[in-house]
Structure 1
Amino acid sequence: MIRITDKISIQDHEIKEEFIQASGPGGQNVNKVASAVQLRFDVKNSSSLPDDVRKRLFQISGKRISSEGILIINARRYRDQIKNRKDAADRLVELIQKAAEIRKKRVRTTPSINSRIKRLEAKRRRSTIKNIRKNVSPDHE
């Protein structure tokens, strides 16, 4: 069982790991050993996730989630299969924790009277400076 938050935990049978050959460092060994991990988690049919978290997870995960609702995480950062398994699980936990956070709604505010006055004064000052810098017309000479 993987513990995400106080209220959310994922059972081991909900996660499927597939081991594949990784590209990158490893020398000749990279062609023989399946050290990369492809972690699959069925978000759509998971009983561990509350509906609101599931919905936010769909929004956050982007192209990592398939059309069937399966979240796929590829971990090939390390040469070690054990380290890659841990890395994939950590990234899954991090993603679900991010989805579990409830973002505070932004309260729209209006600018204060003082700030409006300051802004208008600054605009007037800038306008007068620009007017002073304008070319003098031939009529004034």
Structure 2
Amino acid sequence: MKDFSKELSFKTSRSSGAGGQNVNKVETAVTVLWKVEESVFFNEDEKFLIQNKLQNRINADGFLFLTVSESRTQLMNKNKAIEKILEIVDKALFIPKKRQATKPSKAQKQKRLDTKKKLSEKKENRKFKY
């Protein structure tokens, strides 16, 4: 995981929800912004992958953004926001391995046929015979 936290910028706002005077007075919600195209930590291929996978989180100006208002303090929200955005970008860079198609072995085929034959015989034996 690359630590590109030096490239992040932050905005604060008032959190919504319960909390009384703390919510009404203090700007505890933190929005983290990151300009993907201007990053020096990632090469062009990685930037393209990030932009493709996270296109619903990137606005028209090219900023990847995330808002956190889980905690009552701005510092804790800022730390959580950094942690979450690093995790999101790390997941976006993950490329799953291609599935390699395999064929069933002869033994597996024979076992399947034997099971079908046994079941067929069992049902055949249930029939009433005169």
Aligned-pair RMSD on alpha carbons?
Answer: 2.5
Q: CA offsets, 1:21-51, max 9 Å, x none?
A: 1123422210111100111112234332223
Instruction: Structure 1 unaligned segments of length 5 or more: list them.
Output: none
Question: Identity percentage over the alignment?
Answer: 32
Give the SS at the match of 2:70. Answer: coil
Letter paired with 1:110 = K
CA gap 1:68/1:123 in 2 versus in 1, 3 angstroms: farther
Give the length in aligned residue pairs: 130
* 2:4 corresponds to 1:10: yes
The structure showing larger relative contact order (alpha-carbon pairs under 8 Å, at least 6 residues apart) is 2
**Aligned mate of 1:122, from 109, 115, 127:** 115
Please list, as runs of the form range in 1=range in 2, the aligned pairs for 1:1-141 lying within 5 A after superposition: 4-5=1-2, 9-10=3-4, 12=6, 14-61=7-54, 63-133=56-126, 141=130
CA contact (8 A) 1:64 1:72 kept: yes
Unpaired runs of 5+ residues, structure 2, are none
Q: Deviations over 1:113-141 (max 9, x none)?
A: 1111112222222333344446x5xxx65
Q: TM-score, normalised by structure 2?
A: 0.79
Contact 2:5–2:82, Cα closer than 8 Å, also in 1: no
